[in-house]
């Protein structure tokens, strides 16, 4: 996008920017979610001064200023607000930016520790995971999700050194990794605001960033998309915890399955095996893992499916052929029981294609 075009867009958006509400600030980052110590290195020889980094940064870290040889270059005047989301580095056409630094790891230290999960519960969750994996033939681990409420005792789950997007952490859990991420280990301020770890940055609340990404046609459409998605109360959650369900360190609240459409179909049938209930799934292609796979099952008690979104597909190794299902933990005994019943006849017969018409020879 040319600078002129960007300036015009910013003029237009300034009028629509959400001017009030509980928005993410530098104070939040330093006082409420643990300090982050980043440095932004700008290669002025490579930089053309296009301003895309300034435009795309969700928390307005940059200001374009005059550089050494008189050209405009970005200066990270608000680096204390940086999330390490790497949107700026990803958008820079010249690869002129490099982010270095780390986050304070003491945020949850000193808090009361949670009791370890009982062996009985651990084994029950492992049994659920085994039924889903064996009956469906899943490629990946079934994932358990726990949103740690503010002030709750902290379970013994490793906090990663690196920052991840929430969707990236789910994808890592499907490969067998457990991790607990307070807000300062998250790399996506959209996900953290949706999941109640922080307030939302003004640039996301206004819809502005979605327009820059060409993901929606108008500010009105972007604001509607933001308005219609559920969000937890800001600062009501202290950390997200994800883990392979076969080795759960804490009770899951939601179980996530990364699977092919045929496998998700059997999960839907298992969920309605005893009632015949048809589900009204809520999917949009925006905020797939935080909203559709996690928050909807968490807050409604109903399962939900998702086709993934721009963010999770752009930032993880998930294959194009995979989709997602979030199942509230209270529904898991029904799903597991229903799946066992379906495995006796319906699943093998369907996979054997018993209704294929005979071929004309």
Span of 77-85, 214-222, 269-277, 314-322 interacting with ligand SF4 by CB under 6 A: 77-85
Could you say whether residue 85 binds ligand SF4 (CB under 6 A)?
Answer: yes
Comparing CB distances to ligand SF4, the nearer of 214 and 360 is: 214
Least distance to ligand SF4 from the beta carbon of 42, Å?
6
Comparing CB distances to ligand SF4, the nearer of 49 and 160 is: 49
Beta partners for residue 65, in sequence order = 73
Closest CA to 244 of 127, 126, 120, 340: 126
Could you say whether residue 67 binds ligand SF4 (CB under 6 A)?
Answer: no
* Contact assessment for residue 97 and residue 73, using Cβ atoms and an 8 Å cutoff: no
**Count, residues near ligand SF4 per rule CB under 6 A:** 25
Span of 17-25, 42-50, 165-173, 178-186 interacting with ligand SF4 by CB under 6 A: 42-50
The percent helix, strand, coil of the chain (3-state, each to 5) is 40, 15, 45
Could you say whether residue 51 binds ligand SF4 (CB under 6 A)?
Answer: yes
Footprint (CB under 6 A) of ligand SF4, residues 288-317: none
Closest CA to 157 of 113, 102, 125: 113
Least distance to ligand SF4 from the beta carbon of 46, Å?
7
User: Under 8 Å CB-to-CB from 305, ≥6 apart: which residues?
Assistant: 264, 268, 281, 283, 292, 323, 324, 325, 326
User: Under 8 Å CB-to-CB from 12, ≥6 apart: which residues?
Assistant: 219
- How many CB atoms neighbour CB 150 within 10 A? 12
Comparing CB distances to ligand SF4, the nearer of 53 and 181 is: 53
Span of 20-28, 93-101, 251-259, 339-347 interacting with ligand SF4 by CB under 6 A: 93-101
Span of 40-48, 296-304, 313-321, 352-360 interacting with ligand SF4 by CB under 6 A: 40-48
Q: Which of 13, 29, 36, 83 binds ligand SF4 (CB under 6 A)?
A: 83
* Contact assessment for residue 40 and residue 82, using Cβ atoms and an 8 Å cutoff: yes
Could you say whether residue 29 binds ligand SF4 (CB under 6 A)?
Answer: no
State both tokens at 35: 């300090």
Q: Which of 24, 29, 36, 50 binds ligand SF4 (CB under 6 A)?
A: 50
Least distance to ligand SF4 from the beta carbon of 244, Å?
29
Least distance to ligand SF4 from the beta carbon of 27, Å?
16
The side-by-side arrangement of strands in the sheet containing 237-244 is 179-182, 237-244, 143-149, 254-259, 323-328, 304-306
Least distance to ligand SF4 from the beta carbon of 91, Å?
6
Could you say whether residue 202 binds ligand SF4 (CB under 6 A)?
Answer: no
* Contact assessment for residue 235 and residue 197, using Cβ atoms and an 8 Å cutoff: yes
Could you say whether residue 256 binds ligand SF4 (CB under 6 A)?
Answer: no
Query: For residues 136 and 142, what is the distance between their CA atoms, to the nearest angstrom?
Result: 11
What angle, 0 to 180 degrees and rounded to 10, lies between the N-to-C axes of helices 261-271 and 332-342?
110
Span of 41-49, 163-171, 220-228, 308-316 interacting with ligand SF4 by CB under 6 A: 41-49
Reduced to 3 states, what is the DSSP secondary structure of residue 66?
Answer: strand
Reduced to 3 states, what is the DSSP secondary structure of residue 282?
Answer: coil
Could you say whether residue 84 binds ligand SF4 (CB under 6 A)?
Answer: yes
Binding footprint of ligand SF4 on the chain (CB under 6 A):
40, 42, 47-53, 57, 59, 61, 74, 82-88, 92, 94, 96-97, 99
């Amino acid at each position: 996008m040319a600078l002129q075009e960007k300036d015009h867009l910013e003029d237009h958006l300034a009028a629509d920017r959400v001017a009030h509400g509980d928005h993410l600030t530098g104070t939040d980052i330093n006082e409420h979610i643990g300090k982050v110590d980043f440095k932004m290195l700008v290669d002025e020889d490579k930089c053309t001064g296009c301003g895309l980094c300034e435009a795309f940064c969700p928390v307005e870290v940059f200001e374009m200023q005059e550089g050494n040889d008189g050209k405009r270059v970005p200066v990270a005047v608000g680096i204390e607000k940086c999330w390490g989301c790497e949107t700026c580095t990803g958008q820079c056409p010249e690869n002129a930016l490099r982010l270095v630094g780390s986050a304070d790891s003491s945020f949850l230290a000193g808090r009361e520790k949670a009791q370890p999960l009982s062996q009985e519960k651990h084994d029950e969750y492992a049994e659920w995971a085994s039924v889903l994996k064996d009956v469906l033939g899943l490629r990946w681990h079934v994932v358990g999700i726990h949103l740690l409420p503010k002030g709750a005792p902290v379970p013994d789950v490793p906090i990663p050194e690196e920052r991840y997007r929430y969707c990236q952490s789910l994808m890592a859990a499907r490969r067998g990794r457990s991790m607990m991420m307070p807000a300062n280990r998250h790399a996506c301020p959209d996900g953290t605001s949706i999941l109640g770890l922080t307030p939302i940055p003004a640039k996301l609340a206004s819809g502005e960033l979605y327009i820059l990404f060409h993901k929606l046609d108008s500010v009105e459409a972007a604001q509607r998309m933001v308005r219609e998605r559920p969000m937890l109360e800001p600062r009501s959650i202290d950390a997200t915890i994800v883990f392979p369900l076969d080795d759960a360190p804490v009770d899951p609240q939601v179980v996530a399955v990364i699977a092919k459409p045929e496998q998700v179909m059997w999960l839907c049938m298992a969920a309605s095996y005893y009632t015949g209930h048809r589900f009204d799934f809520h999917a949009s292609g925006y905020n797939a893992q935080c909203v559709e796979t996690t928050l909807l099952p968490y807050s409604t008690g109903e399962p939900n499916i998702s086709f993934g979104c721009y963010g999770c597909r752009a930032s993880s190794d998930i294959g194009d052929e995979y989709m997602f299902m979030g199942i509230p933990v209270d529904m898991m005994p029904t799903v597991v029981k229903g799946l066992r019943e379906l495995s006796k006849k319906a699943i093998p017969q369907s996979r054997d294609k018993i209704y294929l018409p005979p071929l004309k020879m």
